Amino acid sequence: MMDKVSWGEPTQDGDKVSVTATLPPELPIPIAIKGLTMAFTFTGEDQVARIDVSPQM
């Protein structure tokens, strides 16, 4: 499934890096979403502190 996802370029805003994934319409998923935005927040030691996932309807 993940090989059919189209990934955007990551963007950085302070300690947060976001990336968008566009899903093809033929994927067999139970809800109708067009994509996902994932925002990774990092600690001062470059460790992931939080991941926020937002669907794009």
- How high does pLDDT run on average in the chain? 88
Confidence at residue 48, expressed as pLDDT on a 0 to 100 scale: 96
Q: Flag whether pLDDT at 8 surpasses 90.
A: yes
Confidence at residue 45, expressed as pLDDT on a 0 to 100 scale: 92
Q: Which of 24, 4, 13, 5 is nearest to 52 (CA)?
A: 13
Q: Flag whether pLDDT at 2 surpasses 70.
A: no
Model pTM score: 0.77
Confidence at residue 7, expressed as pLDDT on a 0 to 100 scale: 93
Alpha-carbon distances of 55 from 30, 32, 34, 38, rounded to whole Å: 13, 10, 8, 9
Confidence at residue 25, expressed as pLDDT on a 0 to 100 scale: 77
